[in-house]
């Protein structure tokens, strides 16, 4: 994979490290193996099904999978969300029922009830993986029967293979796999990879257009079928840091995957846009002219919260793989001191620009041993802990201040116009602590 | 293989977690992949627990399969005992680990741990949460209270009992225990152990010392109580004290076992339910159609309160507790309805639409269904939601529980006087019956929700269809009948909350008389025929 580091990022890298080193680049992460307290990949369906509006995600799993989804997604608010679980039962396991036939029946009933569905996604779980249920084959057979009315894909979101956001990675991988290869002489196109809130996607689309980068596609598209052929004509700009498998596949397809800081905050967004601008040969003065207003607005919006965040010591538990980028934003634009950045998986290549911008004093942790990490966190006694929903209240009860990490995955935080919202997410619990006159 | 969008019960190991998390000094080592750790948030968020559940998950990964998942389990087990220093541990597998057959119980035995190990076999592909809780509690009781000799009691010591059944994440368990402990105290009965909630493994070894057992939640403690009865001859108080009459029966049943006089306790009860229900302004409650769905115990109790203590009409009764289907069927028969036994909320929704109730008593799921259909609703049963842990004291059991039930069952209905006024002013130009009644102010059907109200409308998620259908008190049930436009107009003048009933009665009447189409005349003939 080629590493395109935009010039001003290289400059920032040099700046950040004081001694002319590369920030956090050479910090050796603590690699831990113990209890992981992170969701499995199924959970990314929560935003995927909202994004791809004509797709249905059918998990083939257990009652646990169904219960996870309803607990994490607050499913009651949707009478019929576009996801569900085909629960494997003991009849299936004992061989009394043929599982592929059972699945066929479930699918038929589902499609009969939801004729609006254009793409059916079979999602593998731990049980389906362990019993080696071949969902790829099932998808193929269903496809033969139902395409082109309904296209059928499959991927695994199982907890034995994926954490949280890796589910999206596997889904996008499956989407790309299903797209045709672009002709060698096809016009160049920009593919922005990774789920974004529609509002953010629209903002970015407007900026790319203003920059003169005309041929832009987003992965995933809002309608399942709207993905262009992908090949050597494609420049990929990842908007999310967790797309390891998708990026590998795109590279194999001959696409050029840009490496840039992720678009969080003013600095990240500018560097990220710049990577695309450079790849498409946008003149520097045009780039500055187009991005100036956004940069100023972002800086101004973040400055409103700077006072609350400046000098605050922050500890990140692993969750979405966005942690290094979030920490970079918090450190460089809000003046926070980052104690530990936990991440379920550290893709050093994709994260290189962000890591370079983090101070060398940051402790990196990959994987998890939750008890040991809790001990470290207590010893560090940070001002703010970014952690999962299972840990938040127990830490609060100890008198600590926390923020649910999942909010960073669910809230639109990318781009200039959301930079203030991002800062506010971090600042709110701190402000609330100052405000409240109740002790626990 | 069953398509499921939402379930009333989680997997059985979540039931085991509810037992473990309610207790103190117990730790649960669960062989499970990382995603299963989501269950922690049920306790720390919904119940706002201040501690993490006492559960260690092994979080094995695909690359461990076939290699050393057993070793991972053993390490996790040892580390958990070292770190948490429990009095006992329970060990088991979630759905995925069940498939790889590592035998957590056997593995834990090889470790020579310093504490008792109670292995759990919870078949994930067969059973559900409440069964898992019951089985876990039973295994704990058998494992820890088995083979003991009850301590002899000093002469003249008061009778004592155990209170069995409350767990973490239970519907109002916290306050029920307080209320029933108080009630037993008033009867001069000492509480020996409350379990699982609040008990340590050591406390469970003391269970045999009690004279009898009170089972608050048969779904959870039924099996254990029967075992204690067989093993230690401890009688079981079977009446669940929910509602005024059941509470009185409970008091008498306890008093009979304890040899005390129940009547002063009954006479002095701080109970307003009976008077409020007898009070003249409660006349309007008569015959209100109520649909009830929940766990078996709460559903049966709510039906009794609704029909016999408030004068409602039970028009539907059901449960998701298949293990208790027979009890619910028997109760339903008394009310002349057919019991609905299902764990498919879409089926419950269809049943509610068909029954055309004026009030729904159910779980959080039925609350959402009722909201969409614009019917008043109160929550009476788990699965729980953060709102089911109110800051104030609000038991469902005992005399105070009856008071709480009066308020929660009656307030969602349009108040009697308000109903007259609405009727009087329905022609007033300022009266807009598209507007919501005050008690439904929180209603946000359509706006924030991707909702689809009725089975017919389900394939067409269209807010308009939904509103019309809901406003009309649901779709006409008599297919071939038609209404003249005048009659439709007249029907619209009837306040929305009785419109469904008016439509239904008129159509029934028209069918009986063979009238078609329905005219204004038919409407009023039917009104005269049925009375109000
Ligand atoms: S208000 Fe919203 S979140 Fe709360 S119970 Fe209703 S739908 Fe669920
Ligand atoms: S970790 Fe596995 S079994 Fe558990 S919810 Fe996720 S996919 Fe299902």
Q: What is the DSSP string of B34-64?
A: GGGGGHHHIIIIIS--SS--SEEE----GGG
* B83 interfacial to chain A (CB closer than 8 Å): yes
- Which ligand gives the minimal distance to the CA of B30? 2
Quick check: A120 and A4 in contact, CB under 8 A? Answer: no
Helix ranges, B233-269 (H):
244-258, 263-267
Q: What does the pLDDT read at residue B462? A: 35
Whether the per-residue pLDDT at B387 is higher than 80: the answer is yes
A76 close to ligand 1 (CB < 6 Angstrom): yes
State both tokens at B146.
């088995």
Give yes or no for residue A42 CB within 6 A of ligand 2: yes
> Across all residues in chain B, what is the average pLDDT?
88
Nearest chain A Cα distance for residue B504, angstroms? 26
Between B445 and B530, where is the model more confident? B530
pLDDT tens column, A394-431: 999 999 999 999 999 989 999 999 999 999 999 999 99
Give contacts of B 234-253 with A, CB under 8 A: none
The DSSP annotation for B97-159 comes to: HHHHT--HHHHHHTTT-SS-EEE----TTT--HHHHHHHHHHHHHHHHHTT--PPP--TTPPP
Q: How many angstroms separate the CA atoms of A2 and A235, rounded?
A: 11
pTM over 0.90, yes/no: no
Alpha carbon of B33 to ligand 2 centroid (Å): 7
What does the block give as tokens for A131?
């019993």
A51 versus B424: the higher-pLDDT residue is A51
Which segments of B320-418 are extended strands (E)? 340-341, 359-362, 376-379
Burial (0-12, 13-18, 19+ Cβ within 10 Å), A254: middle
List the single best residue of A71, A79, A86 to mutate versus B (max B Cβ within 10 A).
A79
Say yes or no: CB of residue A64 within 6 Å of ligand 2.
yes
Chain B residues inside the 8 Å CB shell of A108: none
Interchain CB distance below 8 Å, B37 and A89: no
Question: Residue B95 CA: which ligand 2 atom is closest?
Answer: 3
pLDDT at B99 over 80: yes
Nearest CA to ligand 1 atom 3: A77
Q: Are B179 and B261 in contact (CB under 8 A)?
A: no
Interface-testing mutation among B8, B10, B35, with chain A (most A C-beta atoms within 10 A): B35
Cα(B134) to centroid of ligand 1, in Å?
A: 30
Chain B residue numbers touching A109 (CB-CB < 8 A)? 3
Q: Which residue of A has its CA nearest to B46?
A: A71
Q: In the prediction, which pLDDT does B407 show? A: 96
**pLDDT value for A18:** 43
pLDDT tens, position by position, A343-381: 999 999 999 999 999 999 999 999 999 999 999 999 999
Question: How high is the pLDDT of residue A79?
Answer: 57
**Partner-chain contact A64 B36, CB within 8 Å:** yes
Q: How far is B15 from chain A (nearest CA, A)?
A: 12
| Segments of A331-389 assigned E as strands | 337-343, 363-368, 384-387
A439 touches chain B (CB under 8 A): no
Residue of A14, A19, A39, A23 lying closest to A348 (CA atoms): A23
Of the partner residues B60, B126, B368, the one whose CB lies closest to the CB of residue A90:
B126
What's the pLDDT band for A227 if we cut at 50, 70, 90?
confident
Q: Higher model confidence: residue A134 or residue B524? A: A134
The alpha carbon dihedral of B163, B166, B167, B173 has a sign of: negative
The sign of the CA dihedral A105, A110, A113, A116 is negative
Residue of B nearest to A391 (CA): B52
Q: Report d(CA B250, CA B58) in Å as an integer.
A: 44
With a 6 Å cutoff on the Cβ, whether A123 touches ligand 2 is no
Ligand 1 close to Cβ of residue A436 (< 6 A):
no
Is the minimum CB–CB distance between B101 and chain A shorter than 8 Å? no
Among the partner residues B4, B124, B450, nearest to A78 by beta-carbon distance: B450
CA of B291 to the centre of ligand 1 (A): 21
pLDDT in tens, B462-516: 333 333 333 333 334 455 789 999 898 888 887 666 777 788 889 888 998 889 9
What separation in Å is there between the alpha carbon of A161 and the centre of ligand 2? 10
pLDDT digits (tens, 9 = 90+) for A123-165: 999 999 999 999 999 999 999 999 899 999 999 999 999 999 9
Q: Write down the ipTM of this complex.
A: 0.92
Chosen from A32, A106, A390, A395 to mutate, greatest number of chain B CBs within 10 A: A390
Report residue B95 as tokens.
């759905």
A158 CA closest ligand 2 atom index: 7
Q: Which of B68, B82, B85, B281 is catalytic?
A: B281
Shortest Cα distance from B509 to chain A (angstroms)? 34
| For range A336-341, the mean pLDDT | 98
pLDDT recorded at residue B433? 47
- The shortest C-alpha distance from A212 to chain B (Å) reads 38
Q: How far is the CA of B372 from the centre of ligand 1 (A)?
A: 12
The chain B residue lying nearest A156, using CA atoms, is B62
Minimum-distance CB partner of B33 among A66, A115, A126: A126
Q: Which atom of ligand 1 is nearest to the CA of A76?
A: 8
Residues of B in contact with A86 (CB under 8 A): 1-4
Mean pLDDT is lowest, of A329-343, A368-382, B187-201, B433-447, for B433-447
Q: Which residues from B are below 8 Å from A75, CB to CB?
A: 5-6
**What distance in Å separates the CA atoms of residue A56 and residue A224, rounded to the nearest whole number?**
10
């Amino acid at each position: 994979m080629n590493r395109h580091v935009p010039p001003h990022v290289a400059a920032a890298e040099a700046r950040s490290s004081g001694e002319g080193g590369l920030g956090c680049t050479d910090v050796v992460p603590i690699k831990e193996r113990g209890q992981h307290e992170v969701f499995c990949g199924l959970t990314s369906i929560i935003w995927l099904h909202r994004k791809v509006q004509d797709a249905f995600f059918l998990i083939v799993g257990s009652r646990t999978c169904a219960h996870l989804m309803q607990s994490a997604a607050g499913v009651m608010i949707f009478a019929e969300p576009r996801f569900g679980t085909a629960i494997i039962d003991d009849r299936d396991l004992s061989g009394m029922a043929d599982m592929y036939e059972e699945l066929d029946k479930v699918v038929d009933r589902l499609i009969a009830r939801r004729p609006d569905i254009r793409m059916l996604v079979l999602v593998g779980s731990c049980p389906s993986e362990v019993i080696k249920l071949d969902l790829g084959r099932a998808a193929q057979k269903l496809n033969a029967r139902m395409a082109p009315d309904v296209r059928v894909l499959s991927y695994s979101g199982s907890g034995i293979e994926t954490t949280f956001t890796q589910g999206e990675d596997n889904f996008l991988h499956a989407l790309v796999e299903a797209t045709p290869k672009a002709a060698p002489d096809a016009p160049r196109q920009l593919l922005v990879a990774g789920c974004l809130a529609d509002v953010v996607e629209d903002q970015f689309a407007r900026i790319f257009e203003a920059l003169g980068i005309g041929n832009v596609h987003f992965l995933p598209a809002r309608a399942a079928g709207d993905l262009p052929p992908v090949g050597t004509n494609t420049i990929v700009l990842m908007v999310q840091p967790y797309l390891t498998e998708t990026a590998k596949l795109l590279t194999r397809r001959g696409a050029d995957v840009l490496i840039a800081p992720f678009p969080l905050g003013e600095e990240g967004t500018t560097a990220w846009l710049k990577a695309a601008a450079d790849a498409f040969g946008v003149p520097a003065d045009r780039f500055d002219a187009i991005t100036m207003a956004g940069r100023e607005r972002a800086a101004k919006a973040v400055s409103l919260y700077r006072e609350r965040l400046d000098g605050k010591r922050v500890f990140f538990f692993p969750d979405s793989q966005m942690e290094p980028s979030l920490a970079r934003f918090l450190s460089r634009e809000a003046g926070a001191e980052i104690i530990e950045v936990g991440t379920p998986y550290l893709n050093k290549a994709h994260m290189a620009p962000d890591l370079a911008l983090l101070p060398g004093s940051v402790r990196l942790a990959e994987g998890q041993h939750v008890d040991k990490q809790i001990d470290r966190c207590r010893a560090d006694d940070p001002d703010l802990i970014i952690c999962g929903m299972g840990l938040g209240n127990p830490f609060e009860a100890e008198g600590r201040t926390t923020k649910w990490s999942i909010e960073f995955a669910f809230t639109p935080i990318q781009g200039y116009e959301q930079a203030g919202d991002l800062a506010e997410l971090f600042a709110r619990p701190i402000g609330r602590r100052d405000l409240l006159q109740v002790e626990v | 293989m069953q398509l499921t969008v939402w379930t009333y019960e989680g997997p059985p190991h979540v039931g085991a977690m509810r037992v473990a998390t309610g207790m103190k000094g117990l730790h649960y080592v669960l062989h499970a992949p990382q995603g299963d750790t989501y269950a922690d948030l049920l306790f720390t968020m919904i119940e706002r627990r201040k501690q993490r559940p006492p559960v260690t998950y092994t979080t094995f990964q695909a690359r461990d399969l076939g290699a050393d998942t057993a070793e991972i389990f053993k390490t996790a087990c040892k580390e958990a005992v070292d770190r948490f220093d429990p009095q006992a541990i329970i060990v088991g597998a979630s759905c995925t680990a069940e498939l790889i057959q590592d035998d957590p119980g056997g593995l834990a035995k090889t470790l020579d741990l310093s504490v008792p190990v109670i292995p759990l076999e919870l078949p994930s592909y067969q059973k559900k949460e409440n069964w898992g809780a019951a089985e876990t509690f039973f295994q704990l009781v058998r494992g820890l209270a088995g083979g003991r000799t009850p301590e002899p009691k000093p002469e003249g010591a008061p009778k004592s009992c155990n209170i069995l059944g409350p767990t973490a994440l239970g519907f109002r368990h916290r306050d029920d225990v307080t209320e029933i402990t108080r009630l037993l105290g008033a009867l001069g009965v000492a509480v020996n152990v409350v379990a699982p909630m609040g008990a340590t493994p050591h406390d469970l070894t003391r269970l045999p010392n009690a004279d009898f057992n009170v089972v608050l939640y048969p779904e959870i403690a039924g099996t254990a109580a029967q075992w204690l009865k067989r093993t230690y001859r401890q009688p079981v108080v079977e009446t669940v004290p929910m509602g005024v009459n059941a509470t009185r029966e409970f008091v008498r049943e306890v008093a009979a076992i304890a040899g005390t006089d129940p009547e002063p306790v009954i006479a002095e009860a701080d109970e307003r339910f009976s008077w409020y229900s007898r009070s003249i302004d409660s006349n309007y409650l008569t015959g209100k159609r109520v649909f009830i769905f929940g766990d078996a115990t709460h559903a049966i109790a709510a039906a009794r309160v609704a029909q016999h203590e408030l004068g409602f009409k039970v028009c539907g009764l059901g449960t998701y507790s298949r293990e208790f289907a027979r009890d619910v069927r028997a109760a339903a028969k008394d009310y002349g309805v057919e019991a609905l036994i299902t764990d498919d909320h879409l089926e419950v929704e269809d049943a509610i639409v068909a029954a055309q109730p004026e009030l729904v008593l159910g779980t959080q799921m039925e609350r959402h269904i009722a909201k969409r259909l614009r019917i008043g609703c109160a929550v009476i049963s788990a699965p729980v939601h953060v709102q089911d842990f109110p800051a104030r004291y609000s038991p469902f059991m005992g005399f105070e529980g009856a008071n709480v039930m009066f308020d929660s069952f009656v307030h969602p209905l349009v108040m009697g006087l308000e109903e007259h006024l609405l009727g009087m002013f329905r022609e007033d130009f300022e009266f807009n019956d598209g507007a919501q009644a005050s008690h439904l102010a929180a209603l946000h059907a359509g706006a924030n929700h991707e909702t689809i109200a009725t089975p017919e409308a389900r394939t067409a998620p269209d807010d308009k269809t939904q509103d019309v259908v809901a406003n009309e008190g649901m779709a006409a049930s008599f297919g071939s009948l038609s209404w003249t436009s005048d009659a439709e107009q007249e029907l619209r003048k009837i306040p929305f909350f009785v419109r469904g009933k008016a439509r239904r009665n008129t159509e029934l009447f028209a069918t009986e008389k063979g009238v078609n189409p329905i005219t204004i005349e038919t409407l009023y003939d039917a009104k005269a025929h049925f009375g109000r």
